């Protein structure tokens, strides 16, 4: 049953309770804390409220591993990591298709740990056949997108380069953006191609390789840094967070999340405007300060 944390009013079927501390907790024993960006930490861009920045920094000082896990491309995730003061750590980008180590001493501020890429030509051809006006963007990691026509700069992170079709699909890529009215109707045909389509709005679908999600990227990091699976926490608000929330020992939905995300979560916290993620993060630092 979903529990409610913070200021969100529970339904008649919910029961409020204090979050259960991680097993083997205490100072110096770090948990893996996975945080979505858009709708969880930020309303967009690189702006993150000061109270959220402070909460993330407190959690990191307490010895926990904060990992950003986003549908954004890597070039859109890195500025948020810097805003949060994550000078050493890990990020998951492009809905799990990109896993990177971040650090001030690394060239460009990051090193790719893993990139899952696929042949994007069948995806683009299918979308074009069904919706000739579809707008297409193919991700270039760490730079931006190859596009068939330019997107509004507020909608994508990084640079854009308009190219002919042969350059859209001449090399494998970690993600394709498909944007058109009615694109959601292509979810089933896209899955039949053996890829992972994820809706990011009524006219927007992100397509990534088969079997890839934020959860697969986070599990790779968890194994690498040696965190107990029982000491994992994830906070998100979108349908692309469903696998991540199910993966975590403590999965938390933001208060404004759609019903499917709320139903999948162990807890529900406040909305973005209520700084719900801060409420969750403070439970970690409160545990570290508790008498033992």
The tens digit of pLDDT for each residue in 214-272 reads 999 999 999 999 999 999 999 999 999 999 999 999 999 999 999 999 999 999 999 99
pLDDT digits (tens, 9 = 90+) for 42-100: 999 999 999 999 999 999 999 999 999 999 999 999 999 999 999 999 999 999 999 99
33 and 92 assigned to the same domain: yes
Task: pLDDT band for 107, please (50, 70, 90 cuts).
Answer: confident
251 and 110 assigned to the same domain: yes
Tokens 């591993």 appear where? Answer: 65
Instruction: Give percent above pLDDT 70 in the chain.
Output: 88
DSSP string, 171-215: S-BS-EEEE-TTGGGGHHHHHHTTEEEEEEETTEEEEEETT--HH
Confidence check: pLDDT of 105 > 70: yes
Instruction: For residue 289, report the phi and psi dihedrals to the nearest 5 degrees.
Output: -90, -5
Element (H, E) at 260: helix 259-264
217 and 259 assigned to the same domain: yes
Domain boundary among 191, 209, 227: 209
Name which of 108-112, 124-128, 234-238 the model is least confident about.
Answer: 108-112
67 and 93 assigned to the same domain: yes
pLDDT digits (tens, 9 = 90+) for 206-215: 999 999 999 9
Task: pLDDT band for 175, please (50, 70, 90 cuts).
Answer: very high
Q: What is the DSSP letter of 139?
A: E
pLDDT digits (tens, 9 = 90+) for 8-26: 333 323 333 345 456 544 4
pLDDT of residue 2: 56
User: Higher-confidence residue: 289 or 124?
Assistant: 124
The token pair that represents 71 in the structure block = 């549908």
Q: Look over the chain and give the mean of its residue pLDDT values, rounded to a whole number.
A: 90
64 and 170 assigned to the same domain: no
Model-level pTM greater than 0.95? Answer: no
pLDDT of residue 4: 55
pLDDT of residue 19: 54
Contact status, residue 16 vs residue 10, Cβ threshold 8 Å: yes
Task: pLDDT band for 1, please (50, 70, 90 cuts).
Answer: very low
State whether residue 131 is helix, strand or coil: coil
Strands (E), 48-189: 65-69, 88-93, 98-103, 110-115, 135-140, 144-147, 159-162, 176-179
List residues bridging with 250 in a β-sheet.
233
135: left (phi over 0), alpha (psi -120 to 50) or beta: beta
Q: Which domain holds residue 229?
A: 3-8+17-115+212-289
Domain boundary among 182, 209, 236: 209
pLDDT digits (tens, 9 = 90+) for 179-206: 999 999 999 999 999 999 999 999 999 9
106 and 220 assigned to the same domain: yes
37 and 126 assigned to the same domain: no
State whether residue 276 is helix, strand or coil: helix
């Amino acid at each position: 049953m979903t529990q409610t944390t913070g200021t969100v009013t529970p339904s008649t079927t919910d029961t409020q309770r204090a979050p259960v501390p991680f097993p083997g907790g205490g100072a110096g024993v770090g948990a893996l804390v996975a945080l979505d960006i858009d709708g969880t930490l930020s309303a967009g861009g690189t702006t993150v409220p000061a109270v959220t920045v402070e909460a993330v920094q407190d959690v990191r000082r307490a010895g926990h591993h904060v990992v950003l896990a986003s549908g954004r491309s890597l070039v859109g995730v890195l500025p948020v990591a810097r805003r949060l003061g994550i000078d050493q750590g890990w990020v998951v980008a492009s809905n799990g298709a990109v896993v990177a180590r971040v650090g001030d001493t690394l060239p460009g501020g990051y090193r790719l740990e893993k990139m899952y890429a696929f042949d994007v030509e069948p995806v683009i051809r299918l979308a074009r056949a069904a919706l000739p006006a579809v707008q297409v963007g193919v991700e270039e990691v760490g730079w931006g997108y190859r596009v068939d026509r330019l997107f509004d700069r507020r909608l994508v992170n990084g640079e854009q380069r308009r190219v002919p079709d042969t350059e859209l699909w001449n090399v494998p890529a970690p993600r394709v953006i498909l944007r058109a009215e009615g694109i959601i109707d292509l979810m089933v045909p896209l899955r039949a191609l053996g890829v992972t389509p994820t809706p990011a709005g009524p006219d927007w679908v992100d397509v990534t390789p088969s079997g890839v999600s934020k959860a697969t990227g986070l599990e790779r990091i968890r194994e690498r840094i040696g965190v107990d699976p029982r000491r994992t926490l994830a906070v998100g608000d979108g349908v692309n967070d469903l696998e991540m929330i199910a993966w975590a020992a403590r999965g938390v939905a933001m208060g404004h999340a759609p019903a499917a995300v709320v139903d999948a979560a162990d807890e529900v916290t406040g909305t973005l405007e209520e700084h719900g993620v801060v409420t969750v993060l403070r439970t970690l630092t409160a545990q570290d300060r508790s008498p033992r």
